[in-house]
Amino acid sequence: MFIPKQTKLASALLGLAVALCATTSQAQDPARPDLGGVWTNASLTSLTRPNGIEALVVSEEVATQIAAGTPIAGIGPGDFDANAPIDETTGAPPAGSIDFGLRGYNSFWVDPGSQLAIVKGEFRTSYIIDPPNGRIPRLEQPKVVFQDRGFGRRYLTGNGDNSGPEALPLAERCLLGFGNTSGPGMMGTLYNSTYQFVQTDDYVMILVEMAHDARIIPTYASAAEARANPRPPVLKPWLGDSRGWYEDGALVVETININPQQMEQSSVPITADGRIIERFSRYSPTEIVYQFTVDDSNLYVQPWTAELSFHATDGRVYEYACHEGNYAMPGILAGARLLEAEAAKQ
């Protein structure tokens, strides 16, 4: 039977309209939370609870006091922000000085937030909610020992391996953001703590402002199906092998097989036997509650869980150019080669 082109076009348009309506309806399904949008997790709360503070939840007054005493970029309050020019007549600081005796940052460059993390209307003193003491339950003698090649002490002292480009930390090479901003176990840091979430029928994409990472997570009908479809273990990608499913009104994401180099430099390390499970729940129109549980008996006494929130923002996701990796690394390596040449002459 002959069907006019106009009829075919009308049928196609009707089908597209039905599909779009179905997609919109699915996005609003309480079993599948709508996570799309631009969000921020910036706060002055850290992963572990500060010494001397026992409570997870505190009043606004206490939260303000804690925030006022929180160091930023390793520099204590009152000693942080002069924005003053450095006195060039004093000469170079001694090798190994804390923060080189200078300032790695002044306040113009940092934006970690101005208050403790707010989760479901509560001020939180740590991201860790289990164990209740807010501490990472590390084994006294871990079954797997790895070299900590992070850039924390390097940032503060300038001491570090400069034998070659691979010796420099991942963040310094602009391969991954520092502070575990990209996850799994995504946390805010000194700046650029903005994320864009995009959902489709089969994937969730999380664009991380620092350092321009994109987590592309396939989603499945169930946990069993997701776990039955891992990537080949020979592949060890940055951010790991993440697969997701929707369960009880939340997006659940399980990640295994994180690149070993990332594990060594992460604030949430796991070994090849470990896994991290994340849960994204839409708490309100302006808040996503985010939990992640770290399970690895090679490093920890028990699984432990952290919780924070992503809050809606009108801000944009900016390019994170990371010029340090573009310009500083050649200078560092050139300086090392010069020292080697001078040593050879002697």
Q: Which domain holds residue 109?
A: 39-324
Is residue 119 in a domain? yes
What one-character DSSP code corresponds to residue 114?
S
Is residue 343 in a domain? no
Query: Identity (one letter) of the amino acid at 323?
Result: H
Is residue 125 in a domain? yes
Is residue 50 in a domain? yes
Is residue 78 in a domain? yes
Is residue 73 in a domain? yes
User: What's the mean pLDDT when you consider all of the chain?
Assistant: 83
Is residue 30 in a domain? no
- Please state whether the predicted TM-score (pTM) of the whole model is above 0.85: no
- Using the structure block, give the residue that is written with the tokens 């994320």: 195
Average pLDDT per run of 10 along the chain, which is 346 residues long?
A: 43 43 45 94 94 95 92 66 57 58 63 92 97 96 76 65 84 86 91 94 95 93 96 90 96 94 86 94 97 96 98 88 73 89 92
Find residue 207's DSSP bridge partners: 196, 214
pLDDT digits (tens, 9 = 90+) for 229-243: 999 989 888 999 999
Helix (H) or strand (E) holding 205: strand 203-208
Is residue 203 in a domain? yes
Report the pLDDT value the prediction gives residue 21, as an integer from 0 to 100.
42
Cβ atoms within 10 Å of 266's Cβ, excluding its own = 22
The burial class, CB within 10 Å (0-12 / 13-18 / 19+), for 144 is: middle
Report the pLDDT value the prediction gives residue 98, as an integer from 0 to 100.
54
Q: What is the distance between the alpha carbons of residues 217 and 205, in angstroms, rounded to a whole number?
A: 6
Based on the structure, what is the number of domains in the chain? 1
Q: What is the distance between the alpha carbons of residues 38 and 205, in angstroms, rounded to a whole number?
A: 12
Report the pLDDT value the prediction gives residue 254, as an integer from 0 to 100.
98
Give DSSP secondary structure letters for 121-163.
TEEES-SEEESTT----B-SS-SS------SHHHHHH-----S
Report the pLDDT value the prediction gives residue 156, as an integer from 0 to 100.
62
